[in-house]
């Protein structure tokens, strides 16, 4: 990483591209947030630093994308989920290892673990699979 101190969305994406996910952590209260923000959502502090996470959490919401934006068309259908990490922050990611034809088999609250997905578009996505 060129400059790990900068909480930019570009740096965040680069961590994902490198398959080395990093979140942002408040130095004052320890709250973990992602994507990074210059200000802590919990206490308002602006002393933030990069941190790693365990990568485990639970699925709190999901949807199946059938009609995708042009850039992701070749990848549809795919799942997008909201995952609450064990550190407390909620992040959005692709879901892998779930059958897109059977969304009824996906249970909210399921334990998932951080992974990555390489899309046909050439992008690397943050993804989660069953733990
Ligand atoms: Zn804080």
Q: What residue spans define the domains of the chain?
A: 9-51, 56-130
DSSP 116: E
What distance in angstroms lies between residue 1's CA and the mean position of ligand 1's atoms? 25
Q: Tally Cβ neighbours within 10 Å of residue 22.
A: 21
- Please give the Cα distance from 66 to 3 (Å, whole number): 37
Residues 94-111 have a mean pLDDT of: 95
Q: Report the predicted TM-score, pTM, of the whole model to 2 decimal places.
A: 0.88
CATH class of 56-130: mainly beta
Judged by phi (left if over 0) then psi (alpha if -120 to 50, else beta), residue 97 lies in left
Which tens digit of pLDDT belongs to each residue from 28-76?
A: 999 999 988 889 999 999 999 999 999 999 999 999 999 998 888 889 9
What distance in angstroms lies between residue 48's CA and the mean position of ligand 1's atoms? 8
What distance in angstroms lies between residue 63's CA and the mean position of ligand 1's atoms? 31
- Percentage of the chain beyond pLDDT 70 is 95
What distance in angstroms lies between residue 47's CA and the mean position of ligand 1's atoms? 8
What distance in angstroms lies between residue 50's CA and the mean position of ligand 1's atoms? 13
What distance in angstroms lies between residue 66's CA and the mean position of ligand 1's atoms? 38
């Amino acid at each position: 990483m060129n400059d790990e101190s900068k909480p930019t969305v570009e740096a965040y994406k680069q961590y994902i591209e490198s398959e080395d996910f990093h979140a942002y952590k408040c130095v004052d209260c320890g709250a973990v947030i992602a994507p990074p923000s210059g200000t802590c959502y919990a206490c308002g502090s602006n002393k933030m630093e990069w941190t790693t996470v365990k990568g485990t959490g639970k699925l709190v919401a999901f949807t199946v994308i059938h009609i995708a934006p042009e850039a992701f068309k070749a990848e549809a259908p795919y799942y997008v989920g909201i995952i609450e990490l064990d550190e407390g922050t909620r992040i959005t990611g692709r879901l892998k290892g779930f059958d897109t034809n059977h969304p009824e088999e996906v249970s909210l609250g399921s334990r998932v673990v951080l992974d990555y997905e390489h899309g046909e578009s050439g992008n690397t996505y943050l993804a989660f699979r069953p733990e």
